[in-house]
Structure 1
Amino acid sequence: MTTVDLNVDIAEGFGVWRIADDDALLTVVSSANVACGFHAGDPGTMRRACATAVKHGVAIGAQVSYRDLAGFGRRFIDVAPAELTDDVLYQLSALNGIAHVSGGRMSYVKPHGALYNAIVTHEQQAAAVVEAVRLFDPALAVLGLPGSRWLALAAEAGLETVQEAFADRAYTPQGTLVSRREPGSVISDPAVAAERAVRFATEGTVVAVDGSVVAAPARSICVHSDTPGALDLVKSVRTGLLAAGVRVASFR
């Protein structure tokens, strides 16, 4: 039976502001990308998310980002590689400690937003994030876009790499994500998201915005918690995968 991980961004609120129903999302997914305070999240939000993830047997991952609370981590920052390594180390340390006191453990790393997209091609920043993971704990797995420099350099460093696809995002003919500035870049129809997820899991392909079919192999499928109707999307994706005979389980 084909097995795929279903991950969602979690703990992306800040203070009294809540971006999604984390508790409900964590009853559906198999992995949680926990915001580490640089693009969203705060200590209390992170701890609640980790405790809930442990309760439901959901794997905990660090969603590291640029230091960009105001921009939700979706603005590219031309940060020096050494500084970026330190910033990622700081975030990993924070989540690792909170996961530990919550009775769980941090098992993987997934960059967020602009950092995720930048290190598809940005050699220096990709290497800086790889170095942070390698220094912190080389046993951690890393998630990223197939064909990215991030995953290639991580593999060279001996890290476990996990190819990821997005049920709620449109793809370019080159296999990258369409910019959120473009119309139609976010998919909010639960049925469409589920159909795409099944295709990722069973065929390893996706239909790009120009109608072409591009390779999109995936061990993990993501839905963003700030996509409109995220909970319905995640439920639809899980139901669709199970109906297609795909087992949903964390890669860790």
Structure 2
Amino acid sequence: MASAASPLTSSSTPPRYAILVAGGSGTRMGADRPKQFLNLLGEPVLLHTLRRFAQPELGIEQCVVVLPAEQFATWEQLCREFSISIPHAVVAGGETRWASVRRGLAYLAEQPAGLVAVHDGVRPLVSAAVIEQTYAAAATHGAAVAAVAPKDSVRGLAQQGSYALDRSRLRLVQTPQCFELQLLWRAYQLPELPTFTDDASVVEDLQPIYLVPGDYRNLKITTPEDLIVAEALLRAELGAG
């Protein structure tokens, strides 16, 4: 989805791409459908997320939505039902998140260069500011991840009991996670490891990960309580607008 230069982007910035990974089943939600298709103020969660990355001022040229193949028909039906006209490609995911991101990257394989953001399809409240800052930091540092400081005290587990951790040195990782396109592609040519919990963990042996301030409102919808909070935050956002 090409867009003209704007206050947030300029013609000198590298091309921008986004991969929205939506492979959830909704098990922890106790829902009758995958969580990316749950109703959030009258629209599917995934539509809210897609809309965030379709904001013209971000200048994102291509959005790739990664879904399980068996969910294609449902998404196509929702696109018709909600008249979703946002340009995007749909790619079949794999057995793991790692495999799904790799397939999304393969769709972009013909792109020689640029920046790619990987984002959870069930983080529908990410702000344009966080997205922009993550792209901008990746343009400078090669790899950038949105993260926030823990609000609570944190303890580690030991064989006997537990021990305190210095939360000032800890961060809670969010998405988007943004990378130079060829860097992320090279990282995903390596075999999958159990330690790969997100894209930053796949890349960190090749490139230091730069952290940018995230947003506590940028929550990941995983449990029923998350959906309640997301609805309240979205109502407040729409009311403020």
Normalized against structure 1, the TM-score is what? 0.32
Which structure has the bigger radius of gyration? 2
Per the normalisation by structure 2, the TM-score is 0.33
